[in-house]
Amino acid sequence: MALSLFARRLDVQDPATWTPPGTTVVQRYRALEGATVLVYTADGDCGTAYFAAACLGCSYREARNSQRSVRLSESDAADLANTHSANCRAMARGIPETPDDDQAAKIVRSRLWSLRKYGTTCPHYVNLTAFHEDRVDLQRPAGFIKQTMHQLVQDEPDFLTAEPYSSGTGTRFLVQPHPPRS
C-alpha cells in the first residue's frame, strides 16, 4: 500500500474563525504574537445585549468595565479587546479544550460562588449575563447553565434558590448570602 504525499490532516478549527458554543462573536482582534482576542455576546435574560472580551492566547477575560463595574456594551468590549491585543504577547494556542459536563458544572458553581456576598442578609439575583466572562472556557449554551443551576437548587438550597418571575414565565435564581458567623 502506497502512502500519499498529500495525506489528509484531521480537521482542526482555526482560532481566528472559531466561535465558542453558546456565543455570537461580533469582532476579532489579533494580538502581537498571533493570539486571537474575541468580542462576543451570549444568550441573556436581561432584554439588553451585553458583551465580553476574551483572549485565546492568555487568561484575559473581561465582562465588566473595571472602572465603573458595569456590563459592557459592544463598543466598550471592543475598546478593551483592542487595548489588550495591542499589548498582549501571547502566541496563538489554538482553541481551548472543551470541558466535560462535570468540569463545566464546576465553572458555573464557581461563578455563582463568586457572586455570594458576605455581611448581607439579602440574596443576590443571578442573570445569564453573569456567565459571559466564562463562556469561552465553559463552551455551553444557556440551557446547560440553567440546568446546572436547577440542579444546584435541588442539591444546595442554602446556596442557590429559585422562584418564578412575577410575569409567570421562567425562573429567576438567587444566590443566598453566606450564613452569619457564630
- With contact defined as beta carbons under 8 Å apart, do 78 and 100 qualify? no
Global pTM value:
0.84
Whether 162 maps to a domain, the answer reads: yes
The pLDDT score that the predictor gives to residue 88 is 96
Q: Encode burial over 141-172: b for 16+ CB neighbours within 10 A, e otherwise.
A: eeebbbebbeebbeeeeeebebeeeeeeeeee
Number of domains in the chain: 2
Model confidence over 57-70: pLDDT tens digits?
A: 999 999 988 766 68
80 and 43 assigned to the same domain: yes
Model confidence over 31-83: pLDDT tens digits?
A: 999 999 999 999 766 678 899 999 999 999 999 887 666 889 999 999 999 99
81 and 113 assigned to the same domain: no
Task: Quote the CA–CA distance of 25 and 22 in Å, as a whole number.
Answer: 10
Strands 61-62 and 51-55, sheet pairing: antiparallel
